[in-house]
Amino acid sequence: MNLFEPFQFAFFRNGIIVAVLAGAICGLIGVYVVLRQMSYIGHGLSHSIFGGAAASAVLSVNFYLGAGLWGLLSALMIGRVARRGKIGSDAAIGVITTASFAMGLALSNLFGQAKRSIDAVLFGSILGVGGTDVLAVLGAGVLSVVVIYACYRHLLFATFDPEVANVSGVNVARMEALLMLMLAITILFTMKVMGVLLISAMLVTPAATARMMTNSFARMLTIAPIIGALCGFTGMLVSYHIDVSPGATIILMASTVFLGVFTVTGSRGRRNVAGLGHH
Amino acid sequence: MTSLDDRTDAAAITSPARALVEVDGVSHSYSGPLVLDHIHLSIDAGSFLGVIGPSGSGKTTLLRLILGSLSPTNGTVKREPNLRVAYVPQVETVNWNFPITVSEVVLMSRSPSMRRPWATASERRDVSEVLEQLGLDGLGNRHIRELSGGQQQRVFLARALHRKPDLLVLDEPTSGVDVRTRHEVVHLLTDLHRDGMAVVLTTHDINGLATHLPRIACVNRELIALGSPRDVLTPQVLERTYGAPMEVLEHGGLLLVTDSPLATS
């Protein structure tokens, strides 16, 4: 078996570029997702976007346009329902995003011809990745790096201590909106390879692994994208050779790395990762 | 412990007090009953004010109104233009598992206009200076969880001081700390006040902290009393503030406030 045989195919070369970039972006944004306890929002947003992706496939509308608008609409609805105050934002996310996901499934059942592209959105695919997707993910990656570079101190302050950040002149609401926007863009532009059902794991696992390896925020921000990119690369290779959807193999790679680091770092790593989400 | 009353406040003697923050007829509610009702308070340059009151009395809300992180429902809070305020939250609210070193915490408070992720040479020098000032030199690369209770409290003081504030606001700075740490914190605040910094803090610790301050505000939804500990810490005022009888004793020239359970029987 020639390990690098798939590189002769253009679709695979596109796919692996997207997977490496997607892994790195998910790792990068995942640091904020994990430390701000936004995992459930990421999970919900990806499910919500699935409804838009399914509708786009059925109506033959551009995937990024349809799914993106749908995601934006869902986020606005979540905000509106949560502001009513009767139910918490977690319940609002649960209601709206699962309704959107159910609509995607219904469309999938009703319109059989769209089933293949809907399956690809659910579980990830390397076959449908073209030059436009490479450019889109590259753009999302550049945007994420530029935003994090430009707003590094504000994002860090707003993430660690929002109340004091606000008093110290940081526009915390703007930083939160920026993070939500980056999260939505990351999900939208990487879900073709990762798949809706598994992308939230990629937003959490590399960042949680990096947390076990370091006590420095700056180093965590460097380690998590490297882990994500490596898992994207190896996961795609394994996906091709064993003919399993890339979302699954990439996440399995990330889970294996997590388990390895969890074992090697011992009680220190376990304490760090157990502390995520607990003050 | 020395009373702050004994210390010379040079700024107060040589020039009339300049109001940094004026709280004028302020009321506040969180979409329910009033948490604070018609509060008048002035925080002058170089002053040192302690706010006492039971849990839920509106102390932290008052701090947030002074800081500007809350807008009053009624009344106005006027802050001096370009006033530099620094805030030290309760240590219980800090996420000790956050991956962050002592230097990274202190660096956070730099001017929001700074864009570069990494610290410049002058910033590193400033951080070293403030850490040294607070006895934290050599600990810059340590994770915040690896420090003692007193050191942890001083890290957040260092972050506040790194802003070079005109007004330092602290929420329960001695809550959950041991006696030694409490002494360290009180001495630090005493030194900062002596150097001319205005300080406002809330506390539940009447004997360990409030009796040593020059001015105390007793708050329970409304401002019940404002003045020096000798003027304010009377059984009548304390009962109105805490809703329970309390005794005030004097020991070695210092006031001592105790619960008075027998008075209820």
DSSP-derived pairing of the beta strands B198-203 and B167-171:
parallel
Q: Indicate the pLDDT class of residue B101, thresholds 50, 70 and 90.
A: very high
Question: Is the confidence at residue B260, as pLDDT, over 80?
Answer: no
Q: Are residues B13 and B75 in the same domain?
A: yes
Q: B113 and B42, same structural domain?
A: no
pLDDT digits (tens, 9 = 90+) for B73-92: 999 999 999 899 999 998 88
**Can you give the pLDDT at residue A35?**
92
Range of the domain at A94: 7-273
Q: For residue B187, is it within any domain?
A: no
Let me know: does A228 contact A24? Beta carbons within 8 Å. yes
Residue B174 sits in the same domain as residue B249: yes
Q: Is the pLDDT of residue B6 over 50?
A: no
Query: A-contacting residues of B 201-230, CB under 8 Å?
Result: none
Whether the pLDDT of residue A273 is over 80: the answer is no
**Bridge-partner residues for B74, per DSSP?**
B27
For residues B18 and B45, the answer to whether their CB atoms sit within 8 Å is yes
Q: Are B79 and B2 part of one and the same domain?
A: yes
CB atoms within 10 A of CB B178: 12
User: Rounded to two decimals, what is the model's pTM?
Assistant: 0.83
- The answer to whether residue B163 neighbours chain A at the CB level (below 8 Å) is yes
Instruction: Please tell me whether residues B256 and B217 are part of one structural domain.
Output: yes
Contact with chain A for residue B85, Cβ under 8 A = yes
Q: Is B104 on the interface with A (CB under 8 A)?
A: yes
For residue B224, what is the enclosing H or E element? strand B222-227
The predicted-structure confidence for B10-49, as pLDDT tens digits, reads as follows 444 445 678 999 999 999 999 889 999 999 999 999 999 9
Chain A nearest CA to B230, separation (Å):
33
Q: Are B42 and B19 in contact (CB under 8 A)?
A: yes
Q: Give the DSSP H or E segment for B87.
A: strand B85-88
Which residues constitute the domain of residue B240?
Answer: 1-83+167-179+195-265
Mutate which: A32, A147, A167, A222, vs B, most B CBs within 10 A: A167
On the question of pLDDT at B263 being above 70, the answer is no
In three-state secondary structure terms, A256 is: helix
Same domain, yes or no: B112 and B231 = no
Chain A residues within an 8 Å CB radius of B93? 163, 279
pLDDT tens digits for B197-236?
Answer: 999 999 998 887 888 899 999 999 999 999 998 999 999 9
Q: Which is more confident, B256 or A75?
A: B256
Give me the total of CB pairs closer than 8 Å, taking one residue from chain A and one from chain B. 84
Q: Is residue A279 part of a domain?
A: no
CA B11 to CA B22: how far, in whole Å?
A: 19
Q: Is residue A278 part of a domain?
A: no
Q: Decide if B213 is inside a domain.
A: yes
* Model pLDDT for residues A238-268, shown as the tens digit of each residue: 988 998 888 889 999 999 999 999 999 877 6
Give the containing element (helix H, strand E) for B29: strand B19-29
Mean pLDDT of B167-171: 94
Interface of A with B in 153-212 (CB under 8 A): 153-154, 156-157, 160-161, 163-170, 211
Question: Strand, coil or helix: what is A45?
Answer: helix
Instruction: Please report, as a single letter, which amino acid is at residue A138.
Output: L
State yes or no: pLDDT of B1 exceeds 60: no
In this structure, the answer to whether residues B2 and B79 fall within a common structural domain is: yes
DSSP tag of A71: H
Which range has the worst mean pLDDT, A122-126, A167-171, B54-58, B168-172? A122-126
Torsion region of B38: left, alpha or beta (phi above 0 gives left; psi -120 to 50 gives alpha): left
- Structural domains counted in chain B: 2
**Number of domain units in chain A:** 1
Contact A216 B94 (CB under 8 A): no
Residues B79 and B120 both lie in one domain: no
Domain co-membership, B122 together with B55: no
Q: Where are the beta strands (DSSP E) in A31-85?
A: none
